[in-house]
A and B are shown apart, each in its own frame.
Chain A
Amino acid sequence: MNPPSNPPPAPKLDPHEDHELHDVMQIHTAILRREKAEPQEGLEPMPIWLAALFGALLLWGGYYLGRYNGGFKALVFDEKSSGLPIMAAKPPGSVDMVVLGKRTYTAMCAPCHQETGLGLPGQFPPLAGSDWVNTAGHARLVRIVLNGLTGPMEVNGQPFNNSMPPWRDSITDEQVAAVLTYVRQSWGNKAPGVPIDDVKVIRDKTKERANQPWTADLLKATPESE
């Protein structure tokens, strides 16, 4: 590009720099004079092979999105899954009572009754093979878990005299049912499971006892099935 035939006039500058105006003007003029015009755009058309490439890319994108979308389900983490098994799975809330029971047992019961359910001779009564556990009804067991048990008692003919704390305020009906189901069906025990609704009924029925523990005699007076 040729330099313009007329030199540009003095650029407007900061008033503070009046004393330098002459030199500055010279320098800036030189810089601006060799500067090319402000940029603009040409109108060349898009090459056809580029359109073809982009078409192929979009095609691939559609295929990939269609193939690996996991059914657009929030809980599908494997892109190769269609997402259908997740929809067929059991609804949330239905838990395996034995699994929940074992977890509850380990946290709340095992310190005394032991993981083996054998208890400690002379201190904590056994649950495995216990004549209190392997019963047709479960009303007394639910009461023991809710309110605890204190004073002398006999298990499988062995005497015990200790205290079990109440769990009424610490665990839910579901956990009580689960832990009793677990206890009644582990270590060779073969008694039926405990439904959550039964726990609820007994919890309401024994509300006035608050956290006062049972004694063995009081429990013996309660029918097994109420």
Chain B
Amino acid sequence: MNSQSSPSLRQALTPSDNDSSPERKALLAEIDASCRRPVLFMFANGLLWLMAGTALALLTSYKMHSPNFLADWSWLTFGRVRPAHLNTMVYGFASQVAIGVAIWLMCRLGRVPFMQGGLVVGATIFWNIGVTVGIVGILAGDSTSIEWLEMPGYAAYILFIAYALIAIWAIIAFRFRRERHLYVSQWYLLAALFWFPWLYSAANMMLVIDPVRGTVQGAVNWWFAHNVLGLWFTPIGLAAIYYFIPKVIGRPIHSYFLSTLGFWSLALFYNWAGIHHLIGGPMPAWLITVSVVASMMMIIPVVTVAINHHMTMVGHFKKLKYSPTLRFIVFGAMSYTVVSLQGSSMAIRSLNEVTHFTHYTIAHAHLGVYAFFTMVMFGSMYYIVPRLALREWPSARLISIHFWTTALGILLYVVPLSVGGVLQGLAMNNPDIPFLKTVELTKPYLVTRTFAGILMTVGHTVFAVNFVWILARRRKAYQPPVPFIAAGLQQEAGAQLGKDI
């Protein structure tokens, strides 16, 4: 801590109940109990969609290099399976788990139990009906063919209403918080809870319900699709990282000033960035130039947040060995830095000319949604679920397998596919190379991706097994927590065991 800082600011930043008093622990227990039903229900449904989305992903990936596979049935053609995969993951898995994590964080940070858990379970059922209707609609051929909004209009209404019914309670939890001190995670959560309905309703109004004309659709589409990542998943992911790193290692976040700068520069710049997807398209040049500049300005929040997280972690990296939460979260935080800086570079016109319309973009999207966001959500669930289920994770080995298969899987996915994407882009820009050659050139990278997908499928299956196991496990007399190392290493880890899970 910096001794020159004004005492009043320091005071304002310190939670009023930041001690280990029994009263405070009892309050935390009460909060966890109040979140139990809605949050566990969201996690369980999210994991179901994760498994469905993983199956669709494998199918999509396989079809990329073996297009004849299951191509005879219109429901399983590439043009339907791919958007079904995307929407399953975005709305079924990622958004649902994100809302669950957001609710728990809101209650924890506001020191207030969740109100209306039962009502939110009902709204969550409604949300899942919406996702089901949307996915079946896409597979049945009713896709809108609008990127990230493929779900037919009738599903969009259900999703929006369900979202409103859920999010309102997270916002109410914020409104009636007992802790007046606002922690940085709360800024991000509150902003994201308002940003998402704004994006989703505006994009649906302008693209599906009453479509605007011509190329304006492209601008609205990429404004939406890019912002779902930057103003919905990113803030919730960052809120979780900001919460769990200091929580697990027991040390304050490095700098309040960097937190402030990181949040406000994200809020200021991200919204402009999406139009860089239309470089070279029939868009007014100034619109694209503004978005290129905004994309480069995103370096400010990204570097700020990276420094803030890294300086908090410094000296505590050995804790990655014991805490599954920390391991997933730090992997996600590092991926956030990489994917964001990569994203800024992809907005530069001369680089975009190569990487646009290639697999490089796909690799980038997965680096963002998976290596950053999904890994952070996995880490958060490892922390939250035992507190809600009132049991310890049953198997450390499964956690370990989950981490290594997904971490290595996403690296095996992103790195080769990025290389393949650049080669593909260079080949496509060379008029002497026939188009079919540029397609054949990508094949080894596409096959590698399928293998990466199999690795990640193993990881997801293992996680789902562990999740069902922790919920179904009979409660017995207290058992010590399972530490996050293979059983053989337990002796070595000694006294550290379990303390930092």
Contact = CB atoms under 8 A, between A and B. Distances in A.
A70 B22 contact: no
A64 B303 contact: no
A48 to B, nearest CB: 13
Contact of A9 (B22, B109, B242): B22
Given A14-B33, A32-B25, A41 B296 contact: no
Contacts of B183: 38-41
B394 to A, nearest CB: 13
Contact of A43 (B28, B256, B392, B475): B256
Nearest to B279: A79
B14 interface: yes
Contacts of A29: 25, 29
A79 B257 contact: no
Given A23-B476, A28-B32, A34-B499, A40 B14 contact: yes
Given A12-B33, A23-B475, A28-B32, A77 B390 contact: no
B494 to A, nearest CB: 15
A57 B30 contact: no
B250 A1 contact: yes
A59 to B, nearest CB: 11
Interface string B250-278: 10111111110100000000000000000
Given A11-B30, A40-B15, A45-B2, A50 B293 contact: no
B26 A68 contact: no
A37 B181 CA distance: 15
Nearest to A53: B303
Interface size class, chain B: 35 or more
A27 B283 contact: no
Interface size class, chain A: 35 or more
Interface of A: 1, 4, 6-14, 20, 23-24, 26-47, 50, 53-54, 57-58, 60-61, 64-65, 68-79, 81
B304 interface: yes
B392 A69 contact: no
Centre residue among A29, A68, A71 by max chain B CB count within 10 A: A68
Interface stretch (B79-87, B284-292, B458-466): B284-292
A205 to B, nearest CB: 40
Contacts of A34: 481, 498-501
A60 B294 CA distance: 11
14 contacts: A11-B26, A23-B476, A24-B475, A31-B481, A34-B481, A34-B501, A39-B245, A41-B184, A42-B2, A45-B255, A68-B292, A70-B285, A75-B284, A77-B284
Given A14-B33, A32-B25, A73-B286, A39 B243 contact: yes
A40 to B, nearest CB: 5
Given A20-B475, A28-B387, A46 B261 contact: yes
B10 A43 contact: yes
